[in-house]
Amino acid sequence: MRIFDPHIHMTSRTTDDYEAMYAAGVRALVEPAFWLGQPRSNVGSFVDYFDSLLGWEPFRAAQFGIEHFCTIGLNPKEANDPRCVEVLDLLPRFLAKDRVVAVGELGYDSMTKEEDEAFSRQLELALEHDLPVLVHTPHRDKAAGTRRTLDVIKEAGVPAERVIIDHLNEMTVAMVRDAGCWAAFSVYPDTKMDEHRMVRILQEHGLERMLVNSAADWGRSDPLKTLKTGRAMLEAGFSDDDVDRVLWLNPVEFYAQSGRLTLEDESIETGASATFQGSSVLRGARDN
Amino acid sequence: MSSPASDSASTSPSTTYPSTTTAPTEAGVAGALEAVLSDQQAGWLADARARVSAAPTQVGAVFPAVRRSCGAGLLPSPDATLSGWTVDDAARALLLVDVARAGLPPDDLAREVQDLYRYGDAAERRAVLRALPLLDAVLGDRALPVVTDALRTNDTRIVGAAVGPYAASHLDADAFRQAVLKCVFVGVPLASFSGLSERADAELARMLADFAHERIAAGREVPADIWLVLDRFPEAVETAGLREELSSPVPERRAAAQRALAGHDAAVAQEG
């Protein structure tokens, strides 16, 4: 099983996770820029974070045979903090980078006026930079938030096929598919979605424009939920090709719209000087 | 301290250290690129170079798009000074040459170089580091902060690009030794370290021999390329007590010492 996790926050994960993910078949992933649990209090905090998503984290992933891409954006939660909003002025500099395959995560947390402004401005940036968009849907009042999200995207003029609407469930999947956007599901240990509910949704709505991610981060989450969903699909009678469609071909098709999805990138050096045993990640962690 | 002369020299920030290491040239970079770019890629680069020559501060807008427009593969070239360079490294180096040639005062050029590095992704930072020898005549040691920042990372792509001819010419003795040790530590091969044969000294040999002893005491591997330096300073090996480890009561230490000193014998055999 080859797996592309279209949404996972590796900055918060350990090298054990990278090893387990590679063993499970994960060969590529997208790390969306998001909230770190501890709120940021200044723009410099974002700059260092974005630099890490474009520098250290892809290097770390490459040591374990995994291609790392990212999305860049101001998340909705911190869009409410005036100390953080100025980062919007710096986004164009980062959106020009090679490994940025979408603008995101954008969208709503509490559906405030400030969130509206940040969302609209970043949709404009996506159009300017010719990048797809990754949208987070709110955990509270999800259905209303998802409906409003779809309206804002339509008004902004971003083509639906260039948008992922993420963290969907049984109540929000239909409206997203009707709008023509990509529908993404974060399979979690016990909250947003589980692998068996996921299989039922795939049986009902088909495999087209469907994405499954682990959204693993600093909270209780599981970076192998993609694999577990693939297994649940096979047990339910889906074919190997069906699983490959959902776990590999679909995310590749979506993010390739950026023109920057260079899989098996020659730039990632994993030669003799950077093998597992010789890697500065492993050695650095032990010796520094 | 082995070399008072070089230590006192290191206190002057503008010192250039003697090095016979050959640096890449603009003609070499341009020739290698010409052989590999398609017409479309070459056209894009010509436009970008014209734009930067006319307005050098535009380089920040052009720099991130180089890889998408010119390619990212290894640059095929028989020129040893371009060993390990990629196509985007070479194209970005030519853009930097254009910036330097556009007549910016050296301090402004240094600021532009620092900004490209500061706001660059990993590939852009590597390209800036690799291009430094081409800018040395204008920059002098003004870009040293970029090199020292790179040497603080643990990213082997960045560290490896930092230890080129520019670092060999400008790092002071302490920083040069620390850079060598850092490469050994993170796994950047010393064979690609510019200026090593000229600038290695007894103090560096002591540091590497102590490092080897620490690894042997832990029963771990010692990278064989430290012998590129230690073979020229055999007294450092004796002083560090590596040979005594061959009779350690701990089997793992004995075995590690045997493996490490076998690396030494192999290096000697290769030279002979």
- Do residue A59 and residue B122 have CB atoms under 8 angstroms apart? yes
Residue A280, min C-alpha distance to chain B (Å): 5
Inform me whether the C-beta atom of residue B156 falls under 8 Å from chain A C-beta atoms: yes
In the predicted structure, residue A15 carries a pLDDT above the cut 60: yes
Q: Which residues of B touch A273 (CB under 8 A)?
A: 156, 160, 187-189
By the 10 Å C-beta count (0-12 exposed, 13-18 middle, 19+ buried), B152 is classed as exposed
Which residue, B105, B26, B118, B104, is CA-closest to B63?
B118
Q: According to the model, what pLDDT value does residue A268 have? A: 42
Structure tokens that stand for A279 in this block: 């890697």
- φ/ψ (deg, to 5) at A37: 90, -60
Inform me whether the C-beta atom of residue B219 falls under 8 Å from chain A C-beta atoms: no
User: Across residues A205-226, what is the average pLDDT?
Assistant: 97
Q: Nearest by CB to A99, which of B61, B121, B186?
A: B121
In the predicted structure, residue B2 carries a pLDDT above the cut 60: no
In the predicted structure, residue B6 carries a pLDDT above the cut 50: no
Q: According to the model, what pLDDT value does residue B167 have? A: 96
Q: Is B219 helix (H, G, I), strand (E, B) or coil?
A: coil
Would you say A106 and A76 are in contact if contact means Cβ atoms under 8 Å apart? Answer: yes
B183: closest chain A residue by CA: A280
More confident residue, B28 or A192: B28
Q: Is B169 helix (H, G, I), strand (E, B) or coil?
A: helix
Q: According to the model, what pLDDT value does residue A10 have? A: 98
Which residue, B164, B238, B172, B151, is CA-closest to B3?
B172
Q: According to the model, what pLDDT value does residue B268 have? A: 64
Q: Nearest by CB to A280, which of B121, B123, B187?
A: B187
In the predicted structure, residue B13 carries a pLDDT above the cut 60: no
Inform me whether the C-beta atom of residue B214 falls under 8 Å from chain A C-beta atoms: no
Q: Which residues of B touch A260 (CB under 8 A)?
A: 68
In the predicted structure, residue A152 carries a pLDDT above the cut 70: yes
Q: Nearest by CB to B155, which of A56, A260, A266?
A: A56
pLDDT averaged over every residue in chain B: 90
Q: According to the model, what pLDDT value does residue B10 have? A: 39
Contacts of A134 (CB under 8 A, 6+ apart): A7, A30, A32, A71, A73, A102, A103, A104, A105, A106, A164, A166
Would you say B224 and B263 are in contact if contact means Cβ atoms under 8 Å apart? Answer: yes
- Measured distance CA(A20)–CA(A26) in Å, rounded: 9
pLDDT digits (tens, 9 = 90+) for B105-118: 999 999 999 999 99
- Do residue A279 and residue B187 have CB atoms under 8 angstroms apart? yes
pLDDT digits (tens, 9 = 90+) for A231-275: 999 999 999 999 999 999 999 999 999 999 988 744 444 433 343
Would you say A119 and A153 are in contact if contact means Cβ atoms under 8 Å apart? Answer: no
In the predicted structure, residue B147 carries a pLDDT above the cut 70: yes
Interface-testing mutation among A261, A269, A287, with chain B (most B C-beta atoms within 10 A): A269
Q: Nearest by CB to A274, which of B67, B68, B156?
A: B156
In the predicted structure, residue A177 carries a pLDDT above the cut 80: yes
Inform me whether the C-beta atom of residue B67 falls under 8 Å from chain A C-beta atoms: yes
Q: Nearest by CB to A274, which of B153, B158, B187?
A: B187
- Do residue B72 and residue A97 have CB atoms under 8 angstroms apart? no
Q: According to the model, what pLDDT value does residue B20 have? A: 56
Tell me how crowded residue B232 is: count the other CB atoms within 10 A of its CB: 14
Share of chain A above pLDDT 90, in %: 88
Q: How confident is the model at residue A86 (pLDDT cuts 50, 70, 90)?
A: very high
Q: 3-state secondary structure string, A224-258?
A: CHHHHHHHHHHHCCCCHHHHHHHHHHHHHHHHHHH
Q: According to the model, what pLDDT value does residue A264 have? A: 72
Q: Please give the single-letter amino acid code of residue A11.
A: T
Share of chain B above pLDDT 70, in %: 90
Residue B189, min C-alpha distance to chain A (Å): 7
b/e sequence A30-60, b meaning 16+ C-beta within 10 Å: bbbbbbbeeebeeeebbbebbbbbbbbbbbb
A269: closest chain B residue by CA: B157
Q: Which residues of B touch A98 (CB under 8 A)?
A: 64, 67-68, 121, 123
Structure tokens that stand for B145 in this block: 């902060």
User: Across residues B78-83, what is the average pLDDT?
Assistant: 92
Q: Is A69 helix (H, G, I), strand (E, B) or coil?
A: strand
User: Across residues B128-135, what is the average pLDDT?
Assistant: 98
Q: How confident is the model at residue A120 (pLDDT cuts 50, 70, 90)?
A: very high
- Measured distance CA(B68)–CA(B81) in Å, rounded: 25
Q: How confident is the model at residue A276 (pLDDT cuts 50, 70, 90)?
A: very low
- Do residue B86 and residue A266 have CB atoms under 8 angstroms apart? yes
Q: Nearest by CB to B157, which of A59, A97, A262?
A: A59
Q: Nearest by CB to B67, which of A51, A98, A287?
A: A98
In the predicted structure, residue B271 carries a pLDDT above the cut 80: no
pLDDT digits (tens, 9 = 90+) for B223-233: 999 999 999 99
Rounded to two decimals, the ipTM of the complex is 0.82
B225: closest chain A residue by CA: A273
Interface-testing mutation among A60, A98, A265, with chain B (most B C-beta atoms within 10 A): A98
What structural domains does chain A harbor? 3-261 (3.20.20.140)
